[in-house]
Structure 1
Amino acid sequence: MSQETAALPSSNPRLNVSLARRAWGIRRKALQMGEVQGQGYVGQALGVADVLAVSYFHALTLRARDPEWEGRDRFLLSIGHYAIALYAALIEADVLPENEIATYGMDDSRMPMSGMASYTPGMEITGGSLGHGLGIAVGMALGLKRKGGDQFVYNLMSDGELGEGSTWEAVMSATQWQLDNLICLVDFNNQQADGPTRAALAVGAEAPKWEAFGWFAQEVDGNDIDALVAAFDAARSHAGKGPRVIICNTLMCKGVPFLEARESNHFVRVEADEWTKALEILDQGVPA
């Protein structure tokens, strides 16, 4: 998070927390929300936590206490069922209060199980029907560019959305309009509701496809924070006039080995005592 625009005073020790510790905090909060409902898209949240930590605490310019500040970078969650992950990041960033974890998925909660922008501060769009986020991001990036702004638009999408035609229409549009203020983040965990992504339409290396459409493309280990920081920095500083994409290869349920080992964890249901077990395992490896 930009020090210039951070909502917390510079003397607050939370500003000096490592990115690894931020990612751990996001994972822990996601598990706590999963425990509230006894189920959820926790696997995705655990897998993408490092990407969110680097996004919110290294790359994005925002004001936690003023989530609609015009000068902010925009972070779009195309994948509405990843809302639990974004809520965890927004709580970690002090956009949402931690005491709302207990309301996750409840009636009148600001954190419904599928993300809705009208409910949640810091959530830019309502996700859901997959493949729409990048098109919205193109419109936002074009609008900001025409207004003369220097903000970036980040769009987090799933590997499953690579099978949607609307995604590739947006890819071409972004190149046509030379949207060098657009950074797409693809969470490639190779899991969809009905099987591996690679068994569907995502065949072959990803970066060359985007490059063929005129994008500056990088593919990294999405659970390696140093690699992510370097990729985000390269995307922001790239001198070309085209849009940028970072394909982030992540592991579902990262950080909780007994969940990582499950053959299918697209939607996580565990025994009641296993939420405590998962939190205990995560707490054994608290980063500095």
Structure 2
Amino acid sequence: MLTADPTAAAGYRELRRAIRTEEPEQVLQRLRTMSVEVRLSIVDMIDRARMGHIGGDLSVTDILVTLFGAVLDVDPEQPTAPDRDRFILSKGHCAAALYSTLAHCGYFPASELATFMAPQSALNGHPNRRKVPGVETNTGPLGHGFPVAVGCALGARLRGDDSLTVVVLGDGEIQEGSNWEAAMAAGHYRLDRLYAVVDRNRLQQGARTEETVELDPLAAKWAAFGWEVREADGHDHAALLAAFAPSTSGRPVAVVARTVKGKGVSFIEDRVEWHHRVPDKQQVQAAIEELTR
């Protein structure tokens, strides 16, 4: 199993201290900078591996950065601390975004990102909790991560601790029925320390979500299952921070995060063919130039 990078972990702790003491605009600038760094790592990882899910990775980046940068109470050097907050990436095919975020927070050396999807690498195409610190459960088969998150939130209640559980789902993923069974259970138990975030980029493998199985009115559906629903721009760190405020209703919180698949790279944005597609060398250079402007 990979182990923490002490230098990066110290930098992460400094970031968390700064977030508690700095002015809001300074905090937001730190998060924006981290998002650029994570996106650049994603492009490099997928270029090296010549495979991946770049569109979804780029759409979920700002959500992950906001969570790990400013919301979750976690320690990269103690990834299994009993009282830690739990994060589950149910849309596990977007592992590159998660690995990049974890590495930038110090869970393991950033140099390991170069091994993404290589033979015998710990950084598989889908997250593996036995190999990567910070991964709470193996995900990849869609519809599995959310039920596990409900179990984590119930477990926290039984333990009597105040930890958060946050799960991120793809919008195409929630066409799976297991997600709505999980949503119904969480609403029934009023798991107010559970957050479900929908990466609402409106694209899935092969088509738009509404052409495949219509999801709207999505917010109303979550509310009908007993959730407090918030909608936010999934690329606005300030809006995301507000969306992760404590529940005001004693119910679990659903965050419908409006995102753009491929965010940050114009020729990838909102294009269905970039679910699996890998950029060529010229496109990689163009992506880097756009991200670093």
Size of the aligned set, in residue pairs, is 276
How far did 1:273 drift? Answer: 2.7
Q: CA deviation at 1:261?
A: 6.1
Aligned residue for 1:83?
A: 95
State the shift of 1:122 in Å.
0.7
Give 1:210's aligned amino acid. Answer: W
Q: Supply the distance in 1 between the matched residues of 2:236 and 2:290 (Cα, whole angstroms).
A: 20
* d(CA) in 2 for partners of 1:165, 1:11: 39
Q: Secondary structure at the match of 2:44?
A: helix
Please report how far the alpha carbon of residue 206 of structure 1 lies from its aligned counterpart in structure 2 after TM superposition. Answer: 1.1
Identify the residue that residue 52 of structure 1 maps to in structure 2: 64
Which protein has the bigger helix share?
A: 2
Q: How does 1:9-28 map to 2 (within 5 A)?
A: 12=14, 16=18, 18-28=30-40
Query: For residues 156 and 13 of structure 1, do their structure 2 counterparts lie closer, same or farther at Cα, with a shift above 3 Å needed?
Result: closer
Picking from 7, 10, 24, the partner of 1:8 is: 10
Counterpart check, 1:163 vs 2:175: yes
Alignment partner of 2:229 out of 200, 217, 240: 217
Does the 8 Å CA contact 2:47/2:278 hold for their aligned counterparts? Answer: no
1:180 maps to 2:192:
yes
- Aligned partner (choices 165, 171, 180) of residue 153 of structure 1: 165
The DSSP-based 3-state class of the residue aligned with 1:154 is: strand
* 1:277 aligned residue: 286
> 1:82 and 1:30 mapped to 2: Cα distance?
10
Q: Match of 1:3?
A: none
Cα distance between partner residues in 2 of 1:132 and 1:102: 28
Alpha-carbon distance between aligned partners in 2 of 1:10 and 1:253, rounded to the nearest angstrom: 26
The residue that corresponds to 1:207 in the other structure is: 219
What does 1:251-262 align with in structure 2 at a 5 Å threshold?
A: 251-260=260-269, 262=271
Structure 1 residues 205 and 261: CA distance shift in structure 2, 3 A: closer
Amino acid at match of 1:244: V
> CA offset at residue 93 of structure 1?
0.9
Query: Counterpart of 2:10 in structure 1: which amino acid?
Result: L
Kindly provide the amino acid, as one letter, of the partner of residue 8 in structure 1.
A
Contact 1:38–1:272 under 8 Å retained in 2: no
Counterparts of 1:97 and 1:194, CA distance in 2: 35
Inter-partner Cα distance in structure 2 for 1:261 and 1:203:
18
| Equivalence for 2:41 | 29
Quick check: 1:179–1:242 contact (8 Å CA) kept in 2?
yes
Instruction: Look up the match of 1:94.
Output: 106
Identity of aligned residues (%): 34
Task: Using the TM superposition, name which of 119-128 and 198-207 deviates more.
Answer: 198-207
Q: Which runs of structure 1 show a deviation greater than 6 angstroms over 4 or more consecutive aligned residues?
A: none
Moved more, 253-262 or 84-93: 253-262
Which AA in structure 2 matches 1:218?
R
1:116 aligned partner, one-letter code: N
Q: Distance in 2 between matches of 1:279 and 1:114?
A: 24
1:86: Cα distance to partner?
Answer: 0.3
In 2: Cα distance, 1:122 partner to 1:157 partner? 17
Structure 1 pair 266/85, CA: closer, same or farther in 2 (3 Å)?
A: same
Gaps of 5+ in 2: 1-7, 19-28
* Aligned AA (2:79): P
Match in the other structure for 2:247: 238
Deviations 1:209-242 (A, max 9, x none): 1111110011111111111111112xxx223221
Instruction: Measure the CA separation in 2 of the matches of 1:42 and 1:61.
Output: 28
How much has 1:7 moved relative to structure 2?
4.7
**Structure 1: any 5+ residue segments left out of the alignment?**
1-5
- Provide, for residues 17-57 of structure 1, a one-character-per-residue CA deviation record: whole Å limited to 9, x for no partner: 71111111111111111111123111111111111111001
Q: TM-score, normalised by structure 2?
A: 0.89
**Do the aligned residues in 2 keep the contact of 1:193 with 1:266 (CA within 8 Å)?**
yes
Cα deviation for residue 191 of structure 1 reads 1.1
Q: Which amino acid aligns with 2:289?
A: E
TM norm structure 1: 0.90
- Change beyond 3 A, Cα 1:32–1:205: same
Q: Using the alignment, how far apart are the partners of 1:220 and 1:18 within structure 2?
A: 20
